[in-house]
Structure 1
Amino acid sequence: MTPTLETPTTAAPAQRAVAAYPSYTAAEQAVDYLSDQQFPVEHVAIVGRGLHSYEQVTGRLTLAKAAAYNAIGGAVLGALFGWILGLFNLINPLVSALLLAVNGTIIGAVLGALLGLAAHTLTGGRRDFASISGMRADSYEVLVDETHAEHAAHLLAGPGAPGRS
């Protein structure tokens, strides 16, 4: 007979939308307002509705820029690894850590630049731009556990609550 593992099924409490806002910042301000009113904010969630992915193009990506961006990242990683490895020298850890951090910075920058050049070259011109990806929503709802929803709705409808003029 094989033992069976039983997993407890804990259902999340039912929630209700008590307010909707056009921006995440406005929804965040509403939750902050609830917190300021001593409301138990552990029963609150902010949910984005109508999610869309977007990509903001920040500029043209040339071989030089690809090398520079990756050189910076490589330099930071090289410095960090060099510093950490230098700390293991028990004779003179400070000098060793600084020396290895400087060497790690140089080696990391060179390797990062070379990898950036190679990666950009391998794209074959298909992606000659730099960008930042993200998510956006059409609106943001403040959801509250059903047991606390009336209180939250009352607070957010009162004078001084964000989103009210």
Structure 2
Amino acid sequence: MSSPLGGRRPAGPPRLPTPPTGWPIASYGTYGEAQQAVDYLAENEFEVGDVTIVGVDLMLVERVLGRLSWGRVLGAGAMSGAWFGLFAGLLLGLFVNHGFALQMITGLVLGVLSGLAFAAIGYRMSRGRRDFSSASQLVAGRYDVLCQPRTAERGRELLAKLSLRPSAGDA
């Protein structure tokens, strides 16, 4: 297949969302178990390029970390602004012939002030509709391991051997 510029398209996953292909050779309750299965296949000289891990029954899980307050919001804004300000000060200091320390301090102060301002504006505009911080994660109800038909039977046999081995928790 060629690219629009006339060269060959690089090998790898497709660029557009594409449904997975292959036959199911195993199913696991966690991603870690599915990953362990693929690692086992690789250790046994299996062609893992034929394998795909597919998360099925996707859920968006939002874990609430804590309550937001003005102190937390302003503290987080100051910290993120400080990091950005130090980075900007470092870049300025590298390209200006004099006053490296002054450039760093200026960047730090301006970064903290702008971080405080943006955090305060954003929190004030929310008007208390979201007074908590959280972390979101995409999780699947199960993880299927698919394999191309040409190697699926061997993959099933290897994973059957893996399931017969005693787990580390059984020892």
Structure 1, unmatched stretches of 5+, are: none
How many residue pairs end up in the alignment? 151
Q: Please say if 1:24 is aligned against 2:27.
A: no
Extract structure 1 runs of 4+ deviating beyond 4 A. Answer: 10-13
1:67-86 equivalences under 5 Å are: 67-86=74-93
1:41 counterpart residue number: 48
| Cα distance between partner residues in 2 of 1:162 and 1:122 | 54
Report the more deviating stretch, 68-77 or 22-31.
68-77
Letter in 2 for 1:64: G
Letter in 2 for 1:21: Y
Given candidates 46, 53, 57, the residue that maps to 1:50 is 57
- Asked whether the equivalents of residues 18 and 143 of structure 1 are also in contact (C-alpha less than 8 Å), the reply is yes
Letter in 2 for 1:33: Y
When residues 148 and 101 of structure 1 are mapped into structure 2, their CA distance, relative to the original with a 3 A threshold, is farther
When residues 78 and 153 of structure 1 are mapped into structure 2, their CA distance, relative to the original with a 3 A threshold, is same
Report the RMSD for the aligned CA atoms in angstroms. Answer: 2.4
Letter in 1 for 2:57: G
When residues 163 and 48 of structure 1 are mapped into structure 2, their CA distance, relative to the original with a 3 A threshold, is farther
TM-score norm. by structure 2 comes to 0.78
Deviation (angstroms), 1:85 = 2.4
1:97-136 equivalences under 5 Å are: 98-136=101-139
Letter in 2 for 1:108: G
Deviation (angstroms), 1:63 = 1.1
| Cα distance between partner residues in 2 of 1:29 and 1:75 | 41
| Cα distance between partner residues in 1 of 2:20 and 2:128 | 51
Letter in 2 for 1:75: A
- Asked whether the equivalents of residues 17 and 141 of structure 1 are also in contact (C-alpha less than 8 Å), the reply is yes
Letter in 1 for 2:145: V
Q: Please say if 1:156 is aligned against 2:159.
A: yes
Structure 2, unmatched stretches of 5+, are: 5-13, 167-171
Deviations along 1:54-87, one digit per CA (max 9) or x if unpaired, are 1100000011111111221111111112212222
Deviation (angstroms), 1:53 = 0.8
- Asked whether the equivalents of residues 55 and 131 of structure 1 are also in contact (C-alpha less than 8 Å), the reply is yes
2:10 counterpart residue number: none
Deviation (angstroms), 1:148 = 1.6
Deviation (angstroms), 1:106 = 2.4
When residues 127 and 14 of structure 1 are mapped into structure 2, their CA distance, relative to the original with a 3 A threshold, is closer
Deviation (angstroms), 1:12 = 8.4
Deviations along 1:107-163, one digit per CA (max 9) or x if unpaired, are 2122111211111111111010000011111100111112121121111111xx268
